[in-house]
Structure 1
Amino acid sequence: FTVMSCDNVRENGHVAKVAVLGLAQARDPQLAAWIEENVTFPCTMVDRIVPAATPETLQEIADQLGVYDPCAIACEPFRQWVIEDNFVNGRPDWDKVGAQFVADVVPFEMMKLRMLNGSHSFLAYLGYLGGYETIADTMTNPDYRKAAFALMMQEQAPTLSMPEGTDLNAYATLLIERFSNPSLRHRTWQIAMDGSQKLPQRLLDPVRLHLQNGGSWRHLALGVAGWMRYTQGVDEQGNAIDVVDPMLAEFQKINAQYQGADRVKALLGLSGIFADDLPQNADFVGAVTAAYQQLCERGARECVAAL
């Protein structure tokens, strides 16, 4: 039979297989061998923007339905489900109702991770610093719209290896449309959470590819600098930022000891985020330091407009 994962985890089928086989091996090696031979674990990728529910969201839903549901959510109309075509004894015809069956889900995961999630993080940090509460609010500024699209097409798309026929320009155009949905109220503050866990996959891995191949990555540099500026915990008006991150204590320690280029250097020393290679790359350090200093001097909106 087939065990199909629906969780929003990268290569979820592989994760499920390792977990199941590990438990089976501990119980009975013959059981593990049977599962290995007779069960498949297809990977899936799901994409639908579902912001964290706010009290206002819950009340709006209650007003429409006539009943209060503390577990209610609001989501966008768009939905995408990409499924690895790796089933035992056939499969349901879900492709007839919009699902995509593919030989390999990983390229689609990377497309979402870099083009959607990467631009989301870019907009979250620079949008919050620019005074925008939601992603849709950032999209009302033509400079942010232009920068997000350029990030996707000029700096993220070239790092992808997609199946023939994949239209990344159409995908990026659709993302801008989705980001512009004012009904979602997807807060920049929410997306900015846990940046230390998101930055490597969304922004830093693409930078590494550009450093290797000689591509342009100035939007990515500003995105990384935006994260650094955000973790200072004070916005451009001097108001406190509620930074939510498992490494917050380390950020606060750095904030108390360093400023300017020294602060950038100290943050780059967090190997759990930047590993050992990027802090040793003079081009990376120089570009991020320059972008950070520009953010501190000119502010987010002006820096985004200058891209």
Structure 2
Amino acid sequence: MEHLIKLNQKNLAEVAKNISCPTYDRSKVKAGIVHVGIGGFHRAHEAFYTDQLLHDSGNKDWGICGVALLDFDTKIYNTLKEQDGLYTLVIKELDGTLTRRVIGSIVECLYAPENPMQVIEKMASPDIKIITLTITEGGYNYNEATEAFDFDNPQIQYDLEHTYAPKTIFGYLTQALKHRQQNDLAVTIQSCDNIKGNGDLAKRMLMSYVEKAEPELMPWIEANVSFPNSMVDRITPATSPVDISNLNASTGIDDAWPVVCEPFHQWVIEDEFKAGRPAWETVGARFVEDVDPFEKMKLTLLNAGHTVLGVLGALRGCSTIDEAVHNKDIRAFLKLYMDLEVTPTLSDLDGVDLDKYKETLLHRFGNIYMKDQIDRICSESSAKFPIFVLPTVNAQLTHDKHVDFAALVVAAWAIYSLGKDENQQDLIIKDVMHDALAKQALLAKDNPAVFLELESIFGKLKTSETFVNAFTKAYKAISENGIEHSVISWNKSALKHG
């Protein structure tokens, strides 16, 4: 293409000649939602549902004001600002075809580090009825060992001293709620992160902070703020330069940061909203009284499945998730892990066909067009293991049941944390606990169980003789025989013993 059309509001009519675009009048859409964390997942999920609703409904009160919270978010903020909140969603179908549409539901963008008060005032605005969050598992400032809010975090200490120029979500929410209290404006805070009981955790961590920062605010929050739990599901890999160039070349549109995702999407939400909500159920979301069974299923099967494929695949030298799941031995290992260790913990699921769900996951993981990078899946594993994998371990240990597969995955992570794959190629490790992980991984070469002494991740797991033995056996097997031989050995042993 010689001439590319820049994606923005001014050019939308021209862009619409080449690709599906919003047909609603964006100038009449008012932001009723503030969303913190405007990365790929939000734009493939909540913003996608909301865009559909704006197409289908005459109610224009539910646009989104996207907030970039961190210094790191400068690029996405600048991109969306220049594009008037518009971006292209590229759905990679299982047959390789691409479904592309421009999403228009983000009608405002704010950059918190540049103007903290502007963000606080927006969150406190009477127009805003819901504040939604995708701040990642690590963003909730939760210590796995103490099960408490981490007040030792330097950024939390900073927020307590700098009330109107905070750095964390807790500082922003506290001040916004203080303003809302003064005007008696109820609100809903809705987590969209991959955490079991995400709304409950958001409330507990926020209230811990408020108790120290603004204790007089606590009764008002209890009475006027709701925190519905939700289960969110759509595989959304990082956008690659190839994705951008392919979109630009095939459509003639200059979109600096499109989002790619799979066709599958699911959103299950507890219907607890204090100040009204969009009718997301009309565009595919499901409102329920109790989201817990859905969350548990998704976190321990899909998210944990990703972690299994990521860690084992990384050591084997794979670069993408589909490459790992198409390794027949790793695929068989994952299936046995889900069947033998996860499924027994999900016995409280009524009306869900688990076998069908697990089979669907293998197809989703195997989408060869997604190219979901293993580096992305393994990033911040210190926050993911306690949420995705360890609940299964602890549940199985409580009933003296099988933990050998999970133990091998944790052992593989310990070896992964040394920073090299089996071909002695450097691994790209992105983790806030990188230094601590590397230190324990080195010590574990002489005594594997030392890795389990990271209490903020593993809690009291080091006191379980059953798990320590299983972990040590797995660590030695991988160290001596390699990941593939170990995986095959574990598979054969499980099948042999039924």
> In structure 1, what is the equivalent of residue 355 of structure 2?
169
Instruction: For 2:225 and 2:457, locate their aligned partners in 1 and report how far apart those are by CA, in whole Å.
Output: 37
Correspondence list, 1:84-103, <5 A: 84-87=270-273, 94-103=280-289
1:115–1:58 Cα change, 3 Å: same
1:243–1:88 Cα change, 3 Å: closer
> In structure 1, what is the equivalent of residue 380 of structure 2?
194
SS of 2:391's partner is helix
> Match for 1:305: what amino acid?
I
- How many residue pairs were aligned? 301
Instruction: For 1:86 and 1:163, locate their aligned partners in 2 and report how far apart those are by CA, in whole Å.
Output: 22
How many angstroms does 1:287 deviate by? 0.7
For the pair 1:274 / 2:491, whether they are aligned, the reply is no
SS of 2:414's partner is helix
Q: Mean Cα displacement is larger for which, 110-119 or 52-61?
A: 52-61
What is the TM-score of this pair, normalised by structure 2? 0.55
Structure 1 vs Structure 2: percent identity of aligned residues?
A: 36
- The match for 1:185 among 371, 374, 382 is 371
1:250–1:150 Cα change, 3 Å: same
Q: Mean Cα displacement is larger for which, 9-18 or 214-223?
A: 9-18
How many angstroms does 1:265 deviate by? 2.3
SS of 2:254's partner is coil
> Match for 1:295: what amino acid?
I
1:213–1:12 Cα change, 3 Å: closer
How many angstroms does 1:12 deviate by? 4.1
1:140–1:87 Cα change, 3 Å: same
Instruction: For 2:315 and 2:431, locate their aligned partners in 1 and report how far apart those are by CA, in whole Å.
Output: 17
For structure 1, which runs of at least 5 residues remain unmatched after alignment?
Answer: none
- The match for 1:154 among 315, 333, 340 is 340
For the pair 1:133 / 2:316, whether they are aligned, the reply is no
1:105–1:232 Cα change, 3 Å: same
1:287–1:230 Cα change, 3 Å: same
Higher strand share: 2
For the pair 1:119 / 2:305, whether they are aligned, the reply is yes
Instruction: For 2:371 and 2:434, locate their aligned partners in 1 and report how far apart those are by CA, in whole Å.
Output: 26
> In structure 2, what is the equivalent of residue 299 of structure 1?
482
How many angstroms does 1:126 deviate by? 0.6
> In structure 2, what is the equivalent of residue 107 of structure 1?
293
Instruction: For 2:383 and 2:363, locate their aligned partners in 1 and report how far apart those are by CA, in whole Å.
Output: 27
Q: Is the 8 A contact 1:108 1:162 kept in 2?
A: no
Deviations 1:229-251 (A, max 9, x none): 10111111122222222222223
1:40–1:283 Cα change, 3 Å: closer
Deviations 1:23-42 (A, max 9, x none): 9x95986xx76765566443
Deviations 1:132-164 (A, max 9, x none): 111111122222222212212221121125442
> In structure 1, what is the equivalent of residue 49 of structure 2?
none
> Match for 1:270: what amino acid?
L
Q: Mean Cα displacement is larger for which, 191-200 or 177-186?
A: 191-200
What is the TM-score of this pair, normalised by structure 1? 0.86
Instruction: For 2:372 and 2:463, locate their aligned partners in 1 and report how far apart those are by CA, in whole Å.
Output: 36
For structure 2, which runs of at least 5 residues remain unmatched after alignment?
Answer: 1-185, 492-498
> Match for 1:279: what amino acid?
K
Bigger-Rg structure (1/2): 2
For the pair 1:73 / 2:256, whether they are aligned, the reply is no
- The match for 1:248 among 427, 430, 434 is 434
Deviations 1:21-75 (A, max 9, x none): 959x95986xx76765566443222100101122222222222332332321100
Q: Mean Cα displacement is larger for which, 107-116 or 64-73?
A: 64-73
Q: Mean Cα displacement is larger for which, 147-156 or 283-292?
A: 147-156
Instruction: For 1:116 and 1:250, locate their aligned partners in 2 and report how far apart those are by CA, in whole Å.
Output: 27
- The match for 1:5 among 172, 190, 201 is 190
1:9–1:126 Cα change, 3 Å: closer
